[in-house]
Amino acid sequence: MKLVKTIAELNEAKASFGDGKKVGLVPTMGALHEGHASLVRKSVKENDVTVVSVFVNPTQFNDKNDLKNYPRTLDADCELLESVGADIVFAPSVEEIYPEEDTRVFDFSPLDKVMEGKYRPGHFNGVAQIVSKLFDMVEPDRAYFGEKDFQQLAIIRELVAQEGYNIDIRPCPIVREKDGLALSSRNRLLSDEERVHALHISKTLFESREFAELHSVAETISFVENSINSEGYLRLEYFEIVDGYTLQPIKNWADTDYAVGCITVFCGNVRLIDNIKYKE
């Protein structure tokens, strides 16, 4: 496995594999966990060369403290990536990626107007800036994204359609701890006590799937909101049940054949997201 930090080194490392190879890209912000490992394993299986980018992208953080506190663990990340068969780790500096300010403005309306887009203004524009740069630099055949960031996945698909990239976007299911907690780089910011509180999020979502079988969309939303709000420590930012393609809220289960509940909750200062499929 090669660790490269500049675009020139990336090109050299890619070229060393020879022409005509299928390239898979797994974009990450590091602090890797088993969820990332599952993306890399899938890419290794499906491609000749797997490139993993490790870059904490400043333009997608609308909160300076969040950017400052985001865990950075490159040595441990490289160990994990080596063990799952990644070929190239691209870990550039901010200057390498943004030698000058990226002023591009993307419009993914209406996908970016709801949920994360509403609560983290500018977030998806930053995601589109970095992902499009990585696509241009790595030129992958396939790119791998986790379904935990459900809205991000829809936006990336839209980015690919809008910019005409010939890249197959490969989604990978959420990976959970045995007790249900969705894996996230942010979990390592939780204290042991907070982790116990955080478990209530996935527990509520699983319970809501059973509840939803006999109740309306509005009742299911109330069920989740009440469960999170009555927990005591957690603070709900939003819970919405949306059409999985358009990301617009649904009123009735019959409105779509793909219904997904998306949630964001603060556990102390740590912002956690999760989602659950009611219909697919």
Which residues of the chain form contacts with ligand PAF (CB under 6 A)? 27-29, 57, 60, 127, 130-131, 149, 152
Specify the residue, 52 or 190, whose C-beta has the smaller distance to ligand PAF: 52
Q: What is the closest distance, in whole angstroms, from the C-beta atom of residue 131 to ligand PAF in the complex? A: 6
Nearest to 87 by CA among 21, 13, 169: 13
Catalytic residue, candidates 36, 123, 197, 200: 36
Q: What is the closest distance, in whole angstroms, from the C-beta atom of residue 79 to ligand PAF in the complex? A: 19
Q: How far apart are CA 261 and CA 270, in angstroms?
A: 20
Q: What is the closest distance, in whole angstroms, from the C-beta atom of residue 65 to ligand PAF in the complex? A: 18
Residue with tokens 């919405």: 240
**Burial environment of residue 120 by CB neighbours within 10 A (0 to 12, 13 to 18, 19 or more):** buried
Specify the residue, 156 or 267, whose C-beta has the smaller distance to ligand PAF: 156
Strand order, beta sheet including 142-146: 2-4, 88-90, 49-54, 23-28, 142-146, 168-172
- Is 36 one of the catalytic residues? yes
Q: How far apart are CA 183 and CA 175, in angstroms?
A: 6
Q: What is the closest distance, in whole angstroms, from the C-beta atom of residue 185 to ligand PAF in the complex? A: 7
Q: How far apart are CA 272 and CA 263, in angstroms?
A: 8
Specify the residue, 36 or 197, whose C-beta has the smaller distance to ligand PAF: 36
Specify the residue, 129 or 256, whose C-beta has the smaller distance to ligand PAF: 129
The residues that are catalytic are: 36
